[in-house]
Chains A and B, each alone.
Chain A
Amino acid sequence: MSKESLSIALVGNPNTGKSTIFNALTGLRQKIANYPGITVERKTGTTEIGGSKYSVIDLPGAYSLNYKKLDERIAYETLIGSYEHEKAPDLVLVVADSSNLDRNLYLATQVMDLNLPVMLVLNMVDVAEERGISIDPDQISEALNIPVISISAKNKEDVEKLKEAIEAFDLSVPRPLKWIPSPTLLEAMQLLIDEWIKPCTNIPERAHYIEALRLISETEFIGAFYKFEDAAKGKRVIAKAQGIIEKEGGNPMAIEVLRRYNFIGDCTSEASTQTKENEKTLTDKIDAIVTHRVFGPVIFTAILLFMFQAIFSWATPFMDFIDLVFVEGGNWVSNTMEPGILNDLIVEGIIAGLGGVVIFLPQIVFLFFFINILEGTGYMARAAFVMDGFMTKVGLHGRSVVPLMSGFACAIPGIMAARTIENWRDRIITIMVLPFMACSARLPVYALLIAAFVPATTVLGVFTLQGIVFFGLYIFGIVMALLAALVMKKIFPTGQQTPFIMELPSYKLPKWGLVLQNVAERGKIFVVEAGKIIVMISIALWFLASFPKVDVSDITADSTELLENETIDSYQLRHSYAGQFGQIIEPAIEPLGFDWKIGIGLITSFAAREVMVGTLNTIYSIEAGDEVNETLKEKLINDINPKTGKPVYSLATAISLMIFFALAMQCMSTIAIVRRETNSWKWPTAMFAYMTALAYICSFIAFQIGSNW
């Protein structure tokens, strides 16, 4: 059989290493981490094995094919081939965690029920061996009637072994599953297939068997993704099928699970043996402390505090170096190029705008370094466990924890991770509060204002006040997300909570190569993606802040047209398009302690939050004219309001601005992704309105209290 353009789907329980295998096969860099629920959408790549090309699909993790949640539904629909222009996969690799075989085989047997060519990949054999579990793949293969291969996906030799097994797989040989439901269950299933699924629905034939089982145990077909007619008849047939089972003393809700686990038990009883009985592993011992009711939150807080303290302290020398490079680079260009409009645009616009933001690259790198270590070791799952207590107290579902934690890096993957939440209202509340979590784009703004206006005094001999304020802003984001969820829960009650079960993975040493690769990737995104936007906005902003050119030949330093403390460059800036526009909006933001320059920064930061810093640097560089030796921090500290003669920035202004950034919805990409995930403009509009209003009110209160203290 020709293997040209064949497709391989990777399916399995969450956190079994599917994405690691996907990356090893395709050479791509799909995000992987040591906690469940990382992949929530399918990713495709290609690989070449034995001279043939294959497309490889990495599917979101699923415990069963009952598709209650969107991520499970994506896996199910791909497997049954219900997407337009895409057939069912030619080969399914079911990736199983060897240390938890029975539970993983539940999904494997369901996939086999779809009558697809299946190979079972027993991954993490090294972890299983550490726990004293030994598995005979040949016996499992014989019992299930499919090829079984045991590997550790992090070993290159094992990946080669997997490729050889794929090459040797004969797709033309049918391999029906030996699992046979009880005669009663079989009769009930057949009734459902004959009387309703076949005549009244468009479910592909390969899924009839599994759909009949699902309907018997769950009854629900309303809201299913497939088309069906005569719902009343469907209900009647399901009740009739359930009646057959009940008549024989069976429980329709549990019969599939019981029968399937009986079959799995028969398959693994001989093939899998455990030598270390009930022995506490290192993971168990660490978890006894890390997930402790009292120590857990203390350790979580201490880790965050250390992380933000380190970000602030360790990054400083690197930031100073980058600052020096941009200042000297600006001077060099300014002195080398002929004076003129292009010279000014490059020095005051592009170099100032870009330099103002790139300076924060070391802090971004340290932030993602710590996040990757927490993810790689498996601590992130424990952090989610610790946070779950707070989440459920405010009525959020436990499944909201992982999406919210993802929001520390960026809101977009967090919003997508909310697909794992079954209940629509729980999911929408999670999406609506998620942008409060302090994403990395806020970091440059926080860092700039803290460095400029919070004294670097030492607290308790170890911490600095700057680090504590930085940490406090992240906690503020979490608290506001929880409060907003509490209010929304009152407005949109979501009914009874279903229990949250999250698998805690074993602790592992982080893979340093992977950590560095991920950090480099994030650093690149920050410089290239944010940098592109910043350069483009800086160019446009430079024109708006430099034109129209005012005839300043008659204006001298003591002219009456100049405000007190105003230089000619400041006068020019005040009369530019940006200056005029800024002064129009200034009355609206004055109660928050902001002047028109901050106002322009707020508007450009709606493109992306970090643009605020680039904007301020461009505006201040234009105002400074040829004096380009001051850093942005110094420019902010020394800026005097020409109308009042007082400094533009006080501590109250800085706090007000940080609160505004913590709460306002200033990210076009997030708005676009919320539109896509909710399939409506209603939710992103509501999100934008309530977050921006809340930011305004809180900043107003903070400034008014702070300035009258």
Chain B
Amino acid sequence: MELDFQTGVAFGMLILALGYLVNRYVVIPLKKSSHDESCGPDCTCK
């Protein structure tokens, strides 16, 4: 497959999409699910 303009942009969008999905479904849930006991029960520590 030739790397023309359209292919470059399309694959760039794929990389962005994969980055977003990994962040949204792996990184953020892991961070959110950890409960810091030093904070308030609703995680409103400052």
Instruction: Give residues in A with beta carbon < 8 Å to B.
Output: 41-42, 44, 70, 73-74, 77-78, 83-86, 338, 340-343, 345, 532-533, 535-537, 539-540, 543, 549, 607, 668-669, 671-673, 675-676, 679, 681
Q: Are A671 and B29 in contact (CB under 8 A)?
A: yes
Q: Are B33 and A672 in contact (CB under 8 A)?
A: yes
* A77 CB contacts on chain B under 8 angstroms: 40-41
A78 to B46, CA, bound (A): 13
Q: List 30 A-B contacts (CB under 8 A).
A: A42-B40, A42-B42, A44-B44, A70-B41, A73-B41, A74-B40, A74-B41, A74-B42, A77-B41, A83-B40, A83-B45, A85-B45, A86-B45, A86-B46, A340-B6, A342-B10, A343-B6, A536-B17, A536-B20, A537-B21, A539-B16, A539-B17, A540-B17, A540-B18, A549-B1, A668-B29, A669-B29, A672-B29, A672-B32, A672-B33
Please count how many residues in chain B sit with their CB below 8 Å of the partner chain's CB atoms.
30
Instruction: Give residues in B with beta carbon < 8 Å to A.
Output: 1, 4-7, 9-10, 13-14, 16-18, 20-21, 24-25, 28-29, 32-33, 35, 38-46
Q: Are B14 and A539 in contact (CB under 8 A)?
A: yes
- The secondary-structure label for the interface of chain A is helix
A345 to B20, CA, bound (A): 18
* B39 CB contacts on chain A under 8 angstroms: 83-84
A676 to B35, CA, bound (A): 6
A343 to B13, CA, bound (A): 13
* B43 CB contacts on chain A under 8 angstroms: 676
- Name the distance in Å between A9's Cβ and chain B's nearest Cβ: 12
* B9 CB contacts on chain A under 8 angstroms: 342
Q: Are B13 and A607 in contact (CB under 8 A)?
A: no
A396 to B1, CA, bound (A): 61
* B16 CB contacts on chain A under 8 angstroms: 536, 539
Q: A84-B39, A676-B32 are in contact. List 6 more A-B contacts (CB 8 A).
A: A44-B44, A85-B45, A341-B10, A342-B9, A549-B1, A676-B35
Q: Are A338 and B6 in contact (CB under 8 A)?
A: yes
* A345 CB contacts on chain B under 8 angstroms: 10, 13
* 4 cross-chain pairs, A with B, having the tightest CB-CB distances, nearest first: A342-B6, A675-B33, A340-B6, A41-B42
A673 to B33, CA, bound (A): 7
* A676 CB contacts on chain B under 8 angstroms: 32-33, 35, 43
- Name the distance in Å between A513's Cβ and chain B's nearest Cβ: 29
A86 to B44, CA, bound (A): 10
- Name the distance in Å between A437's Cβ and chain B's nearest Cβ: 22
A607 to B14, CA, bound (A): 17
A673 to B14, CA, bound (A): 29
A537 to B24, CA, bound (A): 11
Find the A residue at minimum CB distance from B46.
A85
- Name the distance in Å between B31's Cβ and chain A's nearest Cβ: 9
Q: Are B7 and A341 in contact (CB under 8 A)?
A: yes
Q: Are B32 and A341 in contact (CB under 8 A)?
A: no
Q: Are B33 and A84 in contact (CB under 8 A)?
A: no
A78 to B41, CA, bound (A): 11
